[in-house]
Structure 1
Amino acid sequence: MVSTVSTSENIHKIRQEIQALQPWLVQVRRQIHQFPELGFQEQRTCQLIAQKLREWGIEHETGIAQTGVVALIRASKPGPVLAIRADIDALPITEKNDIPYRSQHDGKMHACGHDGHTAIALATACYLSQHRDAFAGTVKIIFQPAEEGPGGAKPMVEAGVLKNPDVDALIGLHLWNNLPLGTVGVRSGYLMAAVELFRCTLLGRGGHGAIPHQTTDAVVLAAQVVNALQTIVARNIDPLESVVLTVGELHAGSAYNAIADTANLRGTVRYYNPDYEGYIGKRIEEIIAGVCQSHSASYDLKYWQQYPPVVNDSAIADLVRSVAETVVETEAGVVPECQTMAGEDVSYFLREVPGCYFFLGAANPQKGLDYPHHHPRFNFDESALAMGVEMFVRCVEKFCR
């Protein structure tokens, strides 16, 4: 992929040389979209990434944290090391879009934009490899598996991807259907929430639906537990803090005239403030134990943290914001209040090095491209792809000098 278009007009717009890559970006994104792969199974995607990097003569390593890839673009002069991170995995969702590039893998879909992230990072690698005199130091591009679960960032950190050469800062983006096309969401501090998960089996005593006094009704237990858990946010958390507790699954019983002996619950907790780490899980168990004790029942609870909160470094966020102001068309196109209670394991990278994760608006309601993330009809306006490359390239040019 080589472009020879002039780059003279590059203020407040995407430079022509990067805009010329748009057809290639769309082609690669759609190729990845058709063959989605779940976490740590991204063999085909990994092979595609490695193939492109080989074609362009870019130094890279594969098989990191099973299916991760890391590329190195070294400038002609020494300088800092900036990492760019892109996630490559899909979700266990059956696609309902009627499009030519619909998923060919039943029950799997790129329903969150990771196919676009991968294409953007690849095009950024290619562009930078052709313009090594435009920056100093090294750019390390991290293609990370398993963001959607069970989590690939932590094992990549443990494998040493932030070392040799040591990374000074890291940036990453998420195509975001909660923002309109042509906008960038960037803020310092907390951007995305910590993610904690739990599953619980309530153990009662089943029996005949007409003889309840011989039983301990697991459905009644579950109803009381679900209601009581909501008091944690309502009465135990400072109302100025943001915390979400959701019971997303409840399964009990198998017959209309039988009292269930067990009920299974699964849910998630989200928060920003690290002071709540460990606290909410403790309160959940205390409430479940209390309800069960009042009914002479028992329980089996598993509770664990999946991802810590995403916290942006103020200096790197300022750099990304200043870059966004030169890329978006209007002043209102840079959106500072863009927090979400969704989680992201880029947080493990940002715990180790200063960095900034930002949102790239990709929704276009006029084209019907505004379904939410993780929806079976999720899709985004592919015009955002070239803008993502421009953002990354300008961040490199500003940081690595």
Structure 2
Amino acid sequence: MQITDATRPALADLDLRSELSTLRRELHRYPELGFEERATAERLRSWLVERGLEPSAPLAGTGFMVEVEGERPGPTVAYRADMDALPIQEATDVPYRSCTPGVMHACGHDGHMAIGCGVALLASRRRDEIAGTVRVFFQPCEERMPSGGPRMIADGVLDGVAAAYAVHLEPTLPVGRFGFRSGPLTAACAPFVVTVASDKSGHSARPHEAVDTVWVATQVATELYQLVGRVTDARKAAVLTLCRFQGGDALNVIPARVEFGGTLRCVDGETLAFLREKVRRVAGALGAVYGADVDVHFEPSLPAVVNTAPEVVAARTAAVDVLGAEAAVDLALPSMGGEDFAYYLERVPGAMVRVGSAGGADTRYPLHHARFDLDEAALPLAARLMTEVCIRDLTSRS
């Protein structure tokens, strides 16, 4: 093959794809849960060191960052990648499937880490274009609360940062497409647990002589499911979902305690606060009517990811310039999923970009599915784009 100026970018992408795919598959084979990503962090560190980069001391336990300083002085922009996996048994039969029973990268964080490494590598090759510093950081525990974002911030990862960027894989978009949205990109999320209790258990033959905690719990659950759209404005997105229901051991004993819980998600904080209070009041009132002690415990809420408009516009322009007009997809609606990148955007401007990861039937499974996988052609494209976004951001601020 004759190498020309026109073919060099394509060859570079092939080399980068090979490097990032190999790394991603290693990370996929050995997933680790939040704040346990020790082997994951060690592999990332060694990969970066092998390429002449210098990772920092640990942050937030297993997290760390690496900085690429340009040849000219200027501000710092940050790029974040998350490291943790989910407690899901993988159901794929790919050769790089998880070797850790009950744990897999079902949300694509293995891809996020590979892209983050790609951004650091590509930025290091473009130091002469950089006016300032590109800070790439790897965060533990994005998937559960309390998450790693606040701990990374407390350990200084945003010190001196002018803007922050991140990506999330999106299996509803094909490879080569990137989703952009100003304003809310994800929902605020409030996990909660409801406990229905009595001072004694009862016989299933005589429920009238006891407090039927299972029945009371189902009444509370039914009422909670009816709140959204009945006490809130249906034009403001909200969803309440129950995911856990536990109580009792015997088929003929009414248990003294039943517990259930799930998440409440809203795009805006006002609706979230209103529904939190409604959940407490409805649950408490029904418990009082039927003689049960009902307690509602909300865990700390995760805020919504709110992208700032100037950074979204600049990132979208970069996508068009680097990858073509068809690469940019405008997202009309936010996701109701939660993302702790929100904590960073509460403090600095920035944007999260959705990365199309579907290349066929095997890579269209939704996030958190036991058969989730990604088309690795997305990795070099995302790394190229986000490197360009970071460098352009620095240039605009210099």
TM normalised by structure 2 equals: 0.93
Pairing 1:191–2:185 present: yes
2:220, 2:172 → 1: CA distance?
A: 33
Equivalent position to 2:91, from 78, 87, 96 = 96
Deviations 1:327-361 (A, max 9, x none): 44553752322520000000001111000001001
1:215 maps to 210
Equivalent position to 2:312, from 313, 317, 336 = 317
Task: For residue 79 of structure 1, report the CA deviation from its aligned partner.
Answer: 2.0
Task: For residue 162 of structure 1, report the CA deviation from its aligned partner.
Answer: 0.9
2:110 maps to 115
What pairs up with 1:119-268 in 2 under 5 angstroms? 119-150=114-145, 151-163=147-159, 166-204=160-198, 205-268=200-263
Residue type of the alignment partner of 1:162: L
Task: For residue 52 of structure 1, report the CA deviation from its aligned partner.
Answer: 2.2
Task: For residue 138 of structure 1, report the CA deviation from its aligned partner.
Answer: 0.5
Task: For residue 273 of structure 1, report the CA deviation from its aligned partner.
Answer: 0.9
2:391, 2:290 → 1: CA distance?
A: 64
What pairs up with 1:10-89 in 2 under 5 angstroms? 16-89=11-84
Task: For residue 23 of structure 1, report the CA deviation from its aligned partner.
Answer: 0.7
1:6, 1:72 → 2: CA distance?
A: 32
1:271, 1:157 → 2: CA distance?
A: 24
Change (3 A) 1:348 1:10: farther
Deviations 1:266-303 (A, max 9, x none): 11000111213432221111111100100111123211
Instruction: List alignment gaps of at least 5 residues for structure 2.
Output: none
Tell me the SS of whatever aligns to 1:192: coil
Q: Report if the CA contact (8 A) 2:69-2:130 is conserved.
A: no
Instruction: List alignment gaps of at least 5 residues for structure 1.
Output: none
Task: For residue 170 of structure 1, report the CA deviation from its aligned partner.
Answer: 0.8
What pairs up with 1:306-385 in 2 under 5 angstroms? 306-331=301-326, 333-366=328-361, 368-385=362-379
Tell me the SS of whatever aligns to 1:93: coil
Tell me the SS of whatever aligns to 1:245: strand
Task: For residue 216 of structure 1, report the CA deviation from its aligned partner.
Answer: 1.1
1:325, 1:121 → 2: CA distance?
A: 21
Change (3 A) 1:306 1:251: same
Residue type of the alignment partner of 2:352: Y
1:6, 1:222 → 2: CA distance?
A: 69
1:9, 1:85 → 2: CA distance?
A: 32
Q: Report if the CA contact (8 A) 1:181-1:362 is conserved.
A: yes
Task: For residue 10 of structure 1, report the CA deviation from its aligned partner.
Answer: 9.4
CA-based RMSD: 2.0
Q: Where in structure 1 do 4 or more consecutive aligned residues deviate above 6 Å?
A: none
Query: What is the aligned length?
Result: 392
Task: For residue 105 of structure 1, report the CA deviation from its aligned partner.
Answer: 1.1
Residue type of the alignment partner of 2:150: K
Q: Report if the CA contact (8 A) 2:149-2:340 is conserved.
A: yes
2:3, 2:352 → 1: CA distance?
A: 30
Deviations 1:3-54 (A, max 9, x none): xx9895499xx75423421111110000010110111111111111211222
Residue type of the alignment partner of 1:153: G
Q: Tell me the percent identity.
A: 36
1:157, 1:370 → 2: CA distance?
A: 34
